[in-house]
A and B are shown apart, each in its own frame.
Chain A
Amino acid sequence: MVGENVVEVFYQVGASVTDSLAYLGSLAILAGRAAYFTFVGPFRGKAVRWQSAASQAMEVGVRALPILSLITFFIGLILALQSAYELSKLGALNVVPKAVAISMSRELGPLITAIVVIGRSGSAFAAEIGTMKVSEEIDALEVMAISPVDFLVSPKFLAMIIMVPCLTIWANAMGILGGALFGVTQADFTLRRYVQASIDSLYVRDIVSGLIKSVMFGITITAVGCQEGLATGGGAEQVGRSTTRAVVISILLVVAVDLVFTGIFFFLGAR
């Protein structure tokens, strides 16, 4: 009896590991097919869907600016307050700009941007494609000999790969401005000196590593959102389920991707 239970446990663990790997595989296949339509398609006489990508970019990127600005401004301010709490004991308030700038551009800028994009766009992708699946619109595309991946998914990838890094740069800047509010009001900085100190403390690799991560986040979020949408079963409640799954899985995978790339950059930088 006990032996049976042990076997059952191993069976369950094995099954969920296989399922997870299969899921990651399906994401990779989807991203690969979208990449094919974006980068190989043009050489086979199929136009890249710039118009569709541009309207997606507007939705994913430009419309996210107000909320993203507000959140990252607050995050910058919070970072300044938290680091000042410890640094003021050492009389080192002048390194606050450095602490804020580095943690924003290496980590929190890309991550917070990804979280906002998941909430706004990853969920929307799943809901949009899921609704189309339920109302047979995806089938209709197939029957009209239009690949849903080409028509719906690849413009989203293109938009996200361009817009998520752009948003990240913006988020970094807003975070630094948030820190500056503390610097100017509490730590004898002028705005100009605070910004200058932030810029001086950043290396190109800090920003680039953040941007590389943000591109990976963009790919992850799009793949999960679209995959969940395409996997939607019949019925309206399934769309809700897909949307929830898209958000939860995206957050998990974004953090996992973050860990992997942060690890890679750490060991590359240590050499």
Chain B
Amino acid sequence: MAVPVISLRDLRVSYGDREILHGINFDVMAGETLVILGGSGSGKSTLLRTLVGLERPSSGQIWINGQDIAAVSNDELYEIRKRTGMSFQGSALFGSMTVGENVALPLREHTKLEDSTIEIMLRLKLEQVGLAGFEYHMPSQLSGGMKKRAAVARALAMDPEILFFDEPSAGLDPIIAAGIDQLILELKKAFRMTIIVVTHELASAFLIADRMVLIDKGNVVAIGTVDAMRTSTQPRVRQFLDRVPEPDVEGELDYLQTLTERYRRHA
């Protein structure tokens, strides 16, 4: 039986007075690919940021490889982060460095490897993501899909045990997005890494996931294997998977509330 690499226990996150995540519980097993699904504003991005320690939870625990990152010191958090990688939605490559320098940065910072070794490793990483020969290009010279790939290469630099993806196919055309999905599948097959992907792209989610979590308004609505999700009868899951728009009434109420709120603030 697989052991959980990540365990969330009653995880709550707030921005100021507003609670975004209302007690999240789930486990991620070693070597599986878990897709976190959710609409805009569901809290799925906040969940991912909390998992990598960019947001501190207001309560609850996040166990990663037996350490609760909600309670560890900054130094310990940095040690855990050296064994994880993350690919950002906007790729977040450093614009002032070449693609090669971007990929080599974690190696230069955290290892005492010779420059020549680092050079070989960065070429390997770039080849893995299909960007061989692009090490001297600047990020601004790359297309959106290539930037994403370069960001994945950088996330892979330290041979992480866990890899996080924030909206891997956001802003890409279907063909390039399919290429990124393919890349994730290849990584999964080649390295047996634990991969966590946040997305709202259903097609991509069903292609890459072993299991899925649906987050809605800060709560876990459903969690299960791809097949279980596909056949789920849970209304919220069906609505999300069948792409049914929100009923209008709720929208109107929200709209009314924002109007009165604005009025109240002025008064």
A residues engaging B (CB < 8 A)? 132, 135-137, 139-140, 142-147, 151
Q: A140 contacts which of B53, B88, B110 (Cβ < 8 Å)?
A: B88
User: Is A137 touching B92 in the complex (CB atoms < 8 A)?
Assistant: yes
Q: A136 contacts which of B53, B88, B154 (Cβ < 8 Å)?
A: B88
User: Is A143 touching B110 in the complex (CB atoms < 8 A)?
Assistant: no
Q: Does B128 have its Cβ within 8 Å of any Cβ on chain A?
A: no
Q: A139 contacts which of B79, B92, B158 (Cβ < 8 Å)?
A: B92
Q: Does B170 have its Cβ within 8 Å of any Cβ on chain A?
A: no
Q: Which residues of B contact A140 (CB under 8 A)?
A: 86, 88, 92, 94
User: Is A143 touching B52 in the complex (CB atoms < 8 A)?
Assistant: yes
User: Is A144 touching B106 in the complex (CB atoms < 8 A)?
Assistant: yes
Q: How far is the CB of B123 from chain A (nearest CB, A)?
A: 19
Chain B, interface residues (CB within 8 Å), range: 20 to 34
Q: How far is the CB of A71 from chain B (nearest CB, A)?
A: 29
Q: Which residues of B contact A151 (CB under 8 A)?
A: 109
Q: How far is the CB of B112 from chain A (nearest CB, A)?
A: 10
User: Is B92 touching A144 in the complex (CB atoms < 8 A)?
Assistant: no
Q: Which residues of A contact B78 (CB under 8 A)?
A: 145, 147
Q: Complex Cα distance A136/B154, Å?
A: 14
Q: Which residues of A contact B109 (CB under 8 A)?
A: 144-146, 151
Q: Complex Cα distance A135/B139, Å?
A: 13
Q: Complex Cα distance A157/B223, Å?
A: 49
Q: Which residues of B contact A132 (CB under 8 A)?
A: 94
Q: Does B105 have its Cβ within 8 Å of any Cβ on chain A?
A: yes
Name the CB-closest residue of A to B54: A139
User: Is A145 touching B54 in the complex (CB atoms < 8 A)?
Assistant: no
Q: Does B89 have its Cβ within 8 Å of any Cβ on chain A?
A: yes
Q: Complex Cα distance A143/B52, Å?
A: 7
User: Is B81 touching A136 in the complex (CB atoms < 8 A)?
Assistant: no
Q: Complex Cα distance A144/B78, Å?
A: 8
User: Is B86 touching A143 in the complex (CB atoms < 8 A)?
Assistant: yes
Q: A145 contacts which of B82, B94, B154 (Cβ < 8 Å)?
A: B82
User: Is A146 touching B52 in the complex (CB atoms < 8 A)?
Assistant: no
Name the CB-closest residue of B to A143: B86
User: Is B110 touching A142 in the complex (CB atoms < 8 A)?
Assistant: no
User: Is A137 touching B54 in the complex (CB atoms < 8 A)?
Assistant: no
User: Is A136 touching B110 in the complex (CB atoms < 8 A)?
Assistant: no
User: Is A137 touching B94 in the complex (CB atoms < 8 A)?
Assistant: yes
Q: Complex Cα distance A196/B84, Å?
A: 65
Q: Complex Cα distance A137/B79, Å?
A: 19
Q: Complex Cα distance A259/B53, Å?
A: 42
User: Is A145 touching B110 in the complex (CB atoms < 8 A)?
Assistant: yes
Q: Known interface pairs A139-B54, A140-B86. Does A145 touch B92 (Cβ–Cβ under 8 Å)?
A: no
Q: Which residues of A contact B93 (CB under 8 A)?
A: 137
11 further A-B contacts with Cβ under 8 Å, apart from A140-B94, A145-B78, are: A135-B92, A135-B95, A136-B88, A137-B94, A143-B53, A143-B81, A145-B82, A145-B106, A145-B110, A147-B78, A151-B109
Q: Which residues of A contact B154 (CB under 8 A)?
A: 144
Q: How far is the CB of B6 from chain A (nearest CB, A)?
A: 15
User: Is B89 touching A136 in the complex (CB atoms < 8 A)?
Assistant: yes
Q: Does B130 have its Cβ within 8 Å of any Cβ on chain A?
A: no
Please provide the chain B residues from 45 to 93 with a CB less than 8 Å away from any CB of chain A in the complex.
Answer: 49, 52-54, 78-79, 81-82, 84-86, 88-90, 92-93
Q: Complex Cα distance A140/B85, Å?
A: 9
User: Is A144 touching B105 in the complex (CB atoms < 8 A)?
Assistant: yes
